[in-house]
Chains A and B, each alone.
Chain A
């Protein structure tokens, strides 16, 4: 028996808000990254849910793109973070503020 689409969407919203909160409140860059991934996947869930609901493949295809981009982004982001950690011995995002006005 099919689960109504609203449930998927609600779960997606909950995941998105949890991700956003994590990005906003955590100071460890790794955790911020993980929270970002959570937000991506919340969006992916919404795409997939709508694709199933409207019986179209577009949403599922977009999800592949999102996952690809996210993987690339993680690769670049983690490399950046390693470089920053080497230079500053910390990946606290609040300490990366030397460009303030």
Chain B
């Protein structure tokens, strides 16, 4: 009975994919107070896991139905005039792929977070927030699933804002911590505000589309797109790119993502690496019919992505914070994806999205394991007679080193993730990056060159990171005493590592094995993969290997980078390295030329204009009425004779009036 219901494409059950995380978050929100950490974590993980199962089921149903998109109306939202908005799920191969990534990687991160947050809430000194963390995490999964399963731009926008909210809540999870006690709160605020700029563009694009088509549903818009004025399509796609730049951290709005590392590491892995930041890529892929009609917008997207890929990669090679390196790497890889979907190579971009979700989530979670290993090492070192070294930042790679022997499992999975990211065959990153490079070579040789350079830098900074963290001798007491993380954290790591190795099999560059292409061509018209090109494959592998070799040359043999010692590149690269290290001064430029004037204007409006003009008008009115009243009350002086005088004066006046004027 049950198996029959599940086997035959019972689309009425599709809402369950959204229902599970919602139920999980409500349950934890209401009952979490009385439950232990294990139960809370298990409920949250189970909710996400059941969503994953549901997504898998829907995938099989889609295959039975030949991959045709299915729309499942849930209920009406509102009707106003000709506008009719319904909550409708759109289940097609693209959305199911995204659901699988979100819930699959999400489940593993939930499980990992049970172990990570157990230590984190104690280390940060507020165990009561354990429950809150999982409520937020489930809320994020819920919002992300709304985003990817939406049937209209408006519903997608609801999810888009929902994940932005969760991002804000989770970056500022330890809102009272950070630099000067406000660092984390500021990082959260920055992420939210920078994303507002992008959302402003997206919203304008939606208004344009609604104005042109009278609806925001995907199907009618895409069907009639060719009939609309090309100028409107171009404007809408360009404005949409602004939203993409905000959410997917592309130039010039990428500045929030590095700061977002203030959030707990599972958050960095789930939201700021694997899922939410890829929403921009998903948006372009979903809007592929629009972008195909606007070649200029495609060109802009391509170069935007390529420039971001290179730009962020240069910054990543000069960062010392283990999570910052990964953050800039994420921006760079998102640049790869945006460039790919910009070129119209939707499958390559989405393929990279999937593989990246695996290995970047793996890298972040492994980095979290390293950080907590260092923290345990700090306490251990203090325990063994040494002093608790306040100066050692457990995230600073300069204090690490030699962790290979202390944290063996973490080392191996980290190495797999790093090699996958660097694009070494036959790991997942190799196949997806290779496909992007191949498409770039055919579409835009200039972009190909930029992306190849970025790929070299990718291999370089990942090699540098692995060498600094895991090889050589420990450079601090903490690193010397670091210990391996518990199984609840390492098992998801191993599973993700397996994914990082095997995810390339989704779209092997062999005729007949282009599974992802075959899967996605039901959702994206004209999805195709170029035939395998040995030259590109061997070339990109060589580039990656030379990047690793360069990293070994600089960081492998010597033992540099005690906290006092400079990076060996800093002497070689003079001001260029300084530019890398200071993130090309982008934050400083924004602060000086955008935030500064805005703040000055706000201060003028608040201190001068508001205080004196806005407040001045009612104040003046009030004061003058009061003054008049004070003068008037002086008339009541208590002297009976003056009253009589006034009566007499009035009488004389009235008589004179009647006698001389009225007559």
Contact = CB atoms under 8 A, between A and B. Distances in A.
A101 B636 contact: yes
Contacts of B661: none
Contacts of B641: 23-25, 27, 93-94
B638 A20 contact: no
Interface in B618-655: 633-641, 644-645, 648
A20 B651 CA distance: 12
Residue with the highest number of chain B CB atoms closer than 10 Å, among A94, A96, A101: A101
Contacts, number: 34
B644 A101 contact: no
A94 B639 CA distance: 6
B644 A100 contact: no
B640 A96 contact: yes
A2 interface: no
Nearest to B629: A101
Interface in B537-584: none
B638 A100 contact: yes
Interface in A5-30: 20, 23-25, 27
B639 A101 contact: no
A20 B644 CA distance: 9
Contact of B637 (A24, A25, A101): A101
Nearest to B651: A20
Contacts of A101: 633-638
Contacts of A23: 641, 644
Interface string A85-101: 00000000110111111
Contacts of A100: 636-639
Contacts of A24: 641, 644-645, 648
Contacts of B637: 97, 100-101
A20 B645 CA distance: 9
Contact of B639 (A20, A25, A97): A97
A37 B92 CA distance: 107
Contact of A93 (B633, B636, B640, B648): B640
A96 B635 CA distance: 16
The range of chain B's interface size is 10 to 19
Nearest to A23: B644
A94 B641 CA distance: 8
Nearest to A97: B638
Contacts of A94: 639-641
Interface in B94-131: none
Nearest to A99: B638
Contacts of B636: 99-101
Contacts of B635: 101
A17 to B, nearest CB: 11
A84 to B, nearest CB: 12
Contacts of B634: 101
Contacts of B638: 96-101
A34 B376 CA distance: 106
A24 B646 CA distance: 11
A25 B641 CA distance: 8
A34 B637 CA distance: 24
A98 B640 CA distance: 11
A23 B648 CA distance: 11
Contacts of A99: 636, 638
A99 B633 CA distance: 11
Nearest to A98: B638
Interface string A64-101: 00000000000000000000000000000110111111
Contacts of A20: 648
B642 to A, nearest CB: 9
Nearest to A26: B641
Contacts of B633: 101
Residue with the highest number of chain A CB atoms closer than 10 Å, among B633, B641, B644, B645: B641
A98 B636 CA distance: 11
A98 B639 CA distance: 9
A41 to B, nearest CB: 18
Nearest to B630: A101
Nearest to B641: A24
A46 to B, nearest CB: 15
B177 to A, nearest CB: 61
Nearest to B645: A24
A16 B645 CA distance: 15
Interface in B210-228: none
A38 to B, nearest CB: 14
A25 B640 CA distance: 11
A20 B652 CA distance: 12
B334 to A, nearest CB: 75
A30 to B, nearest CB: 14
Contacts of B640: 93-94, 96-97
Nearest to B634: A101
Interface string B310-340: 0000000000000000000000000000000
A97 B349 CA distance: 93
Interface of A: 20, 23-25, 27, 93-94, 96-101
Interface of B: 633-641, 644-645, 648
Given A93-B639, A100-B637, 7 more contacts: A24-B645, A25-B641, A93-B640, A93-B641, A94-B641, A96-B638, A99-B636
In the complex, the 5 A-B pairs of residues with the closest C-beta atoms, listed nearest first = A97-B638, A100-B638, A101-B636, A101-B633, A100-B637
18 contacts: A23-B644, A24-B641, A93-B641, A94-B639, A94-B640, A96-B638, A97-B638, A97-B640, A99-B636, A99-B638, A100-B636, A100-B638, A100-B639, A101-B633, A101-B634, A101-B635, A101-B636, A101-B638
